[in-house]
C-alpha cells in the first residue's frame, strides 16, 4: 500500500545518503593521506 511505498522510499534515501557519505569520507581520507 501507500505506507509501504513511503517506507521503501525513505529507506532508499537513507541508504543512498549513507553510501554518498561513505564515498565522500573515503575521498577525504585519501586526500589527507596523499598530502
Tens digits of pLDDT across the chain (35 residues): 899 999 999 999 999 999 999 998 888 776 766 66
User: Taking phi first (over 0 means left), then psi (-120 to 50 degrees means alpha), and beta for anything else, what does residue 29 get?
Assistant: alpha
pLDDT in the model for residue 3: 94
What are 14's three cell numbers? Answer: 537513507
Cα–Cα distance measured from residue 4 to residue 9, given in angstroms and rounded to the nearest whole number: 9
Please report, for residues 5, 16, 17, 21, 25, the alpha-carbon distance to residue 8 in angstroms, rounded to integers and kept in the order given. Answer: 5, 12, 14, 20, 26
Overall size of the chain counted in residues: 35
pLDDT in the model for residue 26: 81
Amino acid at each position: 500500500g501507500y505506507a509501504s511505498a513511503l517506507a521503501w522510499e525513505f529507506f532508499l534515501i537513507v541508504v543512498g545518503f549513507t553510501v554518498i557519505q561513505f564515498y565522500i569520507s573515503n575521498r577525504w581520507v585519501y586526500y589527507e593521506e596523499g598530502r
